[in-house]
Amino acid sequence: MDLNQARFNMIEQQIRPWEVLDPQVLELLSVVRREDFVPLAHKALAFVDMEVPLGAAANQVMLAPRVQARLLQDLGVQKTDKVLDIGTGSGFMAALLAQQAEQVLSLEIDPQLASQAQGNLQKAGISNVTVRHADGSQGAPADGPFDVILLSGSVAEVPASLLQQLTIGGRLAAVVGNEPMMRVTLITRTSENNWTTTEPWDCNAPRLSGFPEHSRFQF
């Protein structure tokens, strides 16, 4: 496989058509080597328009390239930003965020994935990411507040405790809802007690572990 050609095709055929046109994001996808964050058994899937399995559980995946790219674009990460990444997976999204932010704290509930991600990031020479084995559903209040919070998977709803960990002007992105119709939800903290929410696009994604589901009972 010609990796550079496959990477070019991924950007031009999958990512640009999904309205990812930010030159900085497109440049990042051409220089951060996605194939180095894919398990050896699935190397051939590195640039395919699909979720790549990372472990035994169904929800242990790398999100499709176009989804990761558009989330990155929507968050508008700045060089001074402090980022919380929930659901490290292979570490690829943390690697992309690290190129744009000042520092990234990435939480992964699966200890084996956390260890693998740390190794992937070290091999890639990325030093401004801290990977922590932790349940990300409560965020990391002792390390906040954060300018950007990304949930790399879906949740039934965004916990209020995470919204409290945003700076004023801080942004959170998550895939919210239930199959077959989930939506990417962007929440911006506009003041101490106010947040604005938009739902710019549809996207299904596996559940993040540790986050509560809606109660099925109505009282």
Per-residue model confidence as pLDDT tens digits over 39-67: 988 988 999 999 998 987 778 999 999 99
pLDDT band for 136, please (50, 70, 90 cuts): very high
C-beta atoms surrounding 188 within 10 Å: 15
With 0-12 / 13-18 / 19 or more C-beta atoms within 10 angstroms meaning exposed / middle / buried, residue 164 is middle
Share of the chain above pLDDT 90, in %: 88
Helices 65-75 and 92-100 pack at an angle, to 10 degrees, of 30
Residues 56 and 28: their CA atoms lie apart, in Å, by: 29
- DSSP E strand boundaries for the chain: 52-53, 61-62, 82-86, 103-108, 129-133, 146-155, 166-178, 181-191, 194-202
Collapsing DSSP to helix, strand or coil, 217 comes out as coil
CA–CA separation, 219 and 210 (whole Å): 24
pLDDT for position 73: 97
Find the distance separating the first CA and the last CA of the chain, reported in whole Å: 57
CA distance 158 to 138: 10
- Of the pLDDT bands very low, low, confident and very high (cuts 50, 70, 90), residue 219 is very low
Domain ranges of the chain: 3-202
Would the pTM of this model clear 0.85, i.e. be above it? yes
Q: What is the C-alpha to C-alpha distance for residues 159 and 161, in angstroms, rounded to an integer?
A: 5
Task: Spell out a b/e string for 83-119, using b for 16 or more CB atoms within 10 Å of the CB, else e.
Answer: bbbbbbbbbbbbbbbbbbbebbbbbbbbeebbebbbe
Q: Between 177 and 219, whose confidence is greater?
A: 177
Fold of the 3-202 domain: Rossmann fold (3.40.50)
pLDDT exceeding 70 applies to what percent of the chain?
97
